[in-house]
Amino acid sequence: MAWRNPYYDPSLAHHRVDGFVNPEPELAVGGDFWRWRRERRAQGLPQAPAAGYAAFAREWSVAPDFAQAGERIWWLGHSTLLLQIDGLRVLTDPVLSSRASPFSFVGPARKLPCVTSVAALPDVDLVLISHSHYDHLDRISVQQLARRSPAQAQPIHFIVPLGLGDKLRSFGADNVHELDWWQAFDFRGLRVRATPAQHWSARTPWDRNRTLWCGFTVHGSQRGFYFAGDTGYWHGVPEIVERCGRIDLAALPIGAYAPRWFMKGQHIDPAQAVQMHLELAARHSIAIHWGTFELADDALDEPPQKLAIALADNGLGADDFWLLKHGESRSLAMRTLAESRVHFGT
């Protein structure tokens, strides 16, 4: 018997009987995968960073200092961020293993050593997981977080899109909450809302788009944060602010965008990240999803170069769009953020 989406709601445009679709399904996601692989191999892509991998790692890695107090954000590589807000800690897409793969011996390997471990993290209150891909949902990292949860003063809560709850529970996680697009979860003064994204999901060749994918907003007493997860560009970006409230800091992907004929429906490029920054009216953005794994044809050191060009073209600079090293953090307690008054929206 054919698989049927247990969450199917015919009143929702992104629901299908056999799974889920994008906010703009007419925008192609992917294409001829084997053509891409052939062209990639023939062109010798991706190329190493200009100064080599070792020099790139030295330039773009620092040991994180989790003892820093106050409202702060750490970039821990790829799409893994630790957000400290209103006395709580929020961890996004924790991938702290050596490979983004179901196997320990094959699959995309880290090109920069991981700057931390689950054991070295401070207590975590919320974990947000945007979708099922292995570079965003890592079994080992979730298992380690689940094992440490009972030892904390407060247990960890995991927020996932529709359909991922059973997978998290199979990894040992408790307190798992599934959200559809625009649904909210309130937690100790924070409001977390799942937002649409232009992407897809799969962990095997047989489960494509059977679970939902999303971004998230997190609003506290004074600040609003947006985590894009993985997304191609779609025209509903301003609706995130209209529905969820003001965005003080947006975490936007800038890597894994080449070649555009294959990646544009699922990953934004640096110019589109700047476009999203402007459409969100974000006070600041932080670059994620680059410099960790070689998932596409762009070299590890190319996204920052293209981001700098896109920022200059739009009259923006490094203070508008933060480019952090793996392990580096940035305080949120600055005048431009502290002045904002965030509302939850409708």
Q: What is the DSSP string of 10-58?
A: TTSTTEETTEE--SSTTS-----HHHHHHHHHHTTPSPPPTT-HHHHHH
What pLDDT digit, counting tens, does each position of 297-331 carry? 999 999 999 999 999 999 999 999 999 999 999 99
What pLDDT digit, counting tens, does each position of 30-63 carry? 788 899 999 999 999 999 999 999 999 999 999 9
Task: Using the predicted structure, report yes or no on whether residue 337 has a pLDDT greater than 50.
Answer: no
Question: DSSP character for 236?
Answer: T
pTM of the model: 0.95
Give the start-to-end residue ranges of the domains of the chain. 27-338
- pLDDT at position 290 is 98
Question: Which pair of tokens denotes residue 221?
Answer: 């007493």
The sheet with strand 190-195 has its strands ordered as 184-187, 190-195, 215-219, 224-227, 249-253, 284-288, 321-322
What pLDDT digit, counting tens, does each position of 92-141 carry? 999 999 999 998 888 899 999 999 999 999 999 999 999 999 999 999 99
What pLDDT digit, counting tens, does each position of 134-176 carry? 999 999 999 999 999 999 999 999 999 999 999 999 999 999 9
- pLDDT at position 334 is 57
What pLDDT digit, counting tens, does each position of 211-264 carry? 999 999 999 999 999 999 999 999 999 999 999 999 999 999 999 999 999 999
Task: Using the predicted structure, report yes or no on whether residue 341 has a pLDDT greater than 60.
Answer: no
- pLDDT at position 346 is 33
- pLDDT at position 312 is 98
Question: DSSP character for 162?
Answer: T
H or E stretch at 335: helix 335-338
Class of domain 27-338: alpha beta
Alpha carbon of 68 to those of 16, 83, 90, 153, 310: distances in Å? 46, 12, 15, 20, 32
